[in-house]
Chains A and B, each alone.
Chain A
Amino acid sequence: MNYLPNVLFLIALILGIVYFTKNVKKLVRNIKLGQDVDVSNNKKQRWKNMAMIALGQSKMVRRPIAGLLHVIVYIGFIIINIEVLEIIIDGLFGTHRIGLKVLPKPVYGFLIGSFEVLAVLVFLAVIVFWIRRNILKLQRFWKNEMTSWPKNDANYILYFEMVLMSLFLIMNATDSHFQSLNSGNIISQFIAPLFNGASENTLHIIERGAWWFHILGILIFLNYLYFSKHLHILLAFPNTFYASLKPLGQFNNLESVTKEVKMMMDPNVDPFAAPAEGAEAPAKFGASDVQDLNWVQLLNAYTCTECGRCTSECPANITGKKLSPRKIMMDTRDRLEEVGKNIETNKGTFKDDGKQLLDNYITREELWACTSCNACVEACPVSINPLSIILEMRRFLVMEQSAAPIELNTMMTNIENNGAPWPYNQMDRLNWKDE
């Protein structure tokens, strides 16, 4: 018996899994660069959110066309992957369609039949996706941040899926034994006649070729994820789990500031006291780089699949401002990747590269254009919160750099002096009663 194919298969499988694990470790390391944040509360609601939003796609279908197409691809992806199980067993043990041996023929036929139908539906859905992106040119796919890699990445994923689905169907169509069973070849029976003239041997070669390219394609695709927006197929689950459960309007109160305010209000504190020996340095307020953000925000960045629903709902973006919530997420991810690579080249420690998220990636103009309306947060199908990053960066600008736009400084001075954003005396607050 010739074990070469089994060995080759095992090597490919191990390579694919090892390389993928290596990248997942990188991903986890990068996400852990973020600040700690307590997300241990209300597990029940968190599981429910994950079940509804990620597993149940509840927010995807708010846009019915894209939502329906996505559900097809999503279900197809999950269910067709059951077939991968068979491929792996066959590959490792040199069996052929092990499912036929362990399952009753009608059950096996039903399974493969469903996979075939789904494969065609996925293929068609992906074609429509491609048309929406490249022919209809839906606006949200053609914003400023969607050039070069992000644009190509999206199309590569679509091509990948088209090829994988085709290979699966061709594999079934050229499997003469499977065709002769006449069970489960619901789609492939119509493809089989295309190969009518071919000899048994040729058919077998095509079938084996399709089988090999299919499984190798899947392994390559698995490893493509880390470099792609397509990571969302994995990260959507933790991301919806760890997303904030608070009302969208509730912004976090900075504890470090609470400490300072309490100290200011406490008459017993000695204002001239030197900090105690070994006391921790005062916390940095807000964020100027990715390490200042919390790890959920960094997870958000890796989860973003650049669909642009946030940007298409953003009032600032709609009216032509530079701000795009999607770009905030992409910039955060790209900078985080850069920081991660920096750590790798410097043997585990980050060496200042003279760059940061603020200014080198996200400009002040973008940050100040936000109305904090939460449209982006509401629009995101996987519970990403671009607004929280914008707020953290504004905090850095205002509290660390005093770099607010001048009109906002006036507003804040008014609040400090007279308890209102306008220069009216607090003693006049009830004058309206008698006007």
Chain B
Amino acid sequence: MSELLNVPTMADFMAQGKQPEVLFWVGCAGSFDDRAKKITKAFVKLLNKAQVEFAVLGTEESCTGDPAKRAGNEFLFQMQAVTNIEVMNAYEIKKIVTACPHCFNTIKNEYPELGGNYEVMHHTQFLKTLLDEGRLTIEGGNFNGKRITFHDPCYLGRANNVYEAPRDLIKKLEAELIEMKNCKINGLCCGAGGAQMFKDAEKGDKEVNIERTEQALEVKPDIIAAGCPFCNTMMTDGIKAKEKEGHVTVMDIAELIANAQDL
């Protein structure tokens, strides 16, 4: 499969004196986490299929600083931000797409004041545009009639009011979109945000991801759709803890669409 992936870097484009249509910001999870890497690849397959001229920063990409900022380390955040902005401005980047809502939020909202002004899209928004422009088509295929529930990532939903793009994509799969009791502005966190991903939870009577998984299981889905690599991990762990691996799978929207077309 890997030989099919065409992943040029900004350096490649620069060498040819060209500009890509969009920079794909892969993010730390998308680069290093085994589960999230699959999402990255699925999204790249879709970009390749739609013949989008994109580039990645590759080894020139570095953490946006989001977890440091939410943990209270503004200093480290701004060091990361300024470094990344310097790299991106040097490449004269105008448009960015990312599959991570945390990177999305940080670059979109917190970089401008520090000198980084870009048009930033979440991958679900970008895929939606590709579909609207007819550059990509979806057939229901494998997901016809499947019950899919969407878990809103906090940093996509409440933080940036993006609720419809991922849902529109699920509907295009001819799947049955079912909503959990807490969804959209009332969506319950998966438990990973605010740097919680990197530490144990404080003492309580339950893990947040278990609570959220239970809400998802209440609506008896075949698939829990996610739009964030961290939510994906938390929900996958939740499903394992509830011993439902055989019945329910957690998939990113990009994976759903790529799978629908057997990419």
Contacts and interface: CB of A to CB of B under 8 A. Distances in A.
A253 B78 contact: yes
Nearest to A261: B78
Interface string B147-183: 0000000110011110000000000000000000000
B197 to A, nearest CB: 8
Contacts of A36: none
Nearest to A255: B113
B115 to A, nearest CB: 10
Interface in A338-383: 365, 368-375, 377-378
Contact of B185 (A315, A378, A434): A378
B37 A371 contact: no
B191 A422 contact: no
B195 interface: yes
B109 A429 contact: no
B199 A408 contact: yes
B75 A391 contact: no
Contacts of A422: 28, 32-33
A104 to B, nearest CB: 48
B208 A429 contact: no
Given A378-B185, A415-B68, A429 B158 contact: no
A395 B133 CA distance: 44
Contact of B202 (A321, A378, A394): A321
Interface string B199-240: 111111111101110000000000000000000000000000
Contacts of B70: 251, 372, 391, 394
A248 B202 CA distance: 24
- Per DSSP, are chain A's interface residues mostly helix, strand or loop, or mixed? helix
Contacts of B198: 407-408, 410-411, 421
Contact of B193 (A373, A377, A399, A407): A373
Given A321-B202, A370-B194, A435-B37, A261 B82 contact: yes
Given A247-B161, A322-B203, A411-B68, 9 more contacts: A257-B78, A262-B82, A316-B204, A321-B203, A323-B202, A371-B189, A421-B67, A421-B197, A428-B32
Interface of B: 2, 5, 7, 9, 26, 28, 30-33, 37, 40-41, 56, 58-59, 61-63, 65, 67-76, 78-80, 82, 105, 109-110, 113-114, 154-155, 158-161, 185-189, 191-208, 210-212
Interface of A: 246-251, 253-254, 257-258, 260-262, 264-265, 285-286, 313, 315-316, 318-323, 365, 368-375, 377-378, 391, 393-399, 404-405, 407-408, 410-412, 415-416, 419-422, 424, 426-435
